[in-house]
Amino acid sequence: MPSPFPGMDPYLEGHLWPDVHQALAAEVRRQLAPQLRPRYIARLATRFLAELGEVGPVRILYPDVDVTVSRQAHEQIAVYQVRDSAPPFAAPVVVASQPAPPRVKLVTVEIRDAQDEHLVTSIEILSPINKRADGFLDYQQKRWHVMDSPAHLLEIDLLRQGHRPVSLELVDEKDRPLIERARYFVFLTRSGGGRKVEVWPLALRDPLPVLPVPLLDPEPDVALELGAALRAIYDEAGYDLSLDYRQPPEPPLAGDEEEWADALLREQELR
Judge whether 195 and 169 are in contact, CB under 8 Å: no
In a domain? residue 242 = yes
Q: How does pLDDT run across 188-230, given as a tens digit for each residue?
A: 999 988 779 999 999 999 999 999 999 999 999 999 999 999 9
pLDDT of residue 69: 37
Q: Where are the beta strands (DSSP E) in 27-96?
A: 40-50
Domain annotation covers residue 172 = yes
Compute mean pLDDT per 10 residues along the chain, 271 residues long, and list them. Answer: 96 96 98 97 91 46 36 41 59 71 87 96 96 87 93 98 89 88 96 89 97 96 98 97 97 96 97 94
Residue 176 lies in a domain: yes
pLDDT of residue 91: 76
Distance of CA 35 to the CA centre of its chain: 26
pLDDT of residue 52: 59
Instruction: Report which residue type is found at 256.
Output: D
Is 212 contained in some domain?
Answer: yes
Nearest Cα neighbor of 216 from 138, 114, 92, 135 is: 114
The rounded distance, in Å, linking the Cα atoms of 4 and 264 is 8
Q: Are 225 and 169 in contact (CB under 8 A)?
A: no
Total number of domains constituting the chain: 1
Decide if 76 is inside a domain: no
Phi, psi of 103, rounded to the nearest 5 degrees: -110, 140
The runs of H, that is alpha helices, within 107-249 are 133-147, 176-181, 226-237
Q: How far apart are CA 267 and CA 110, in angstroms?
A: 40
Is the four-CA dihedral 229, 159, 187, 185 of positive or negative sign?
positive
Residue 252 lies in a domain: yes
Enter the DSSP assignment of 81. Answer: P
The identity of residue 118, as a single letter, is H
pTM confidence score: 0.82
The Cα–Cα gap between 241 and 224 comes to 27
CB 242, CB 230: distance < 8 Å: no
Beta-strand relationship, 152-157 and 119-125: parallel
CA distance 151 to 271: 46
Residue 42's DSSP bridge partners are 111
In a domain, 93, yes or no: no
109 secondary structure, DSSP code: E
Residue at 73 is within a domain: no
Q: In this predicted structure, what is the pLDDT of residue 226? A: 98
Asked if 147 and 196 touch (Cβ cutoff 8 Å), the reply is: no
| Structural domain for 218, as ranges | 10-53+105-267
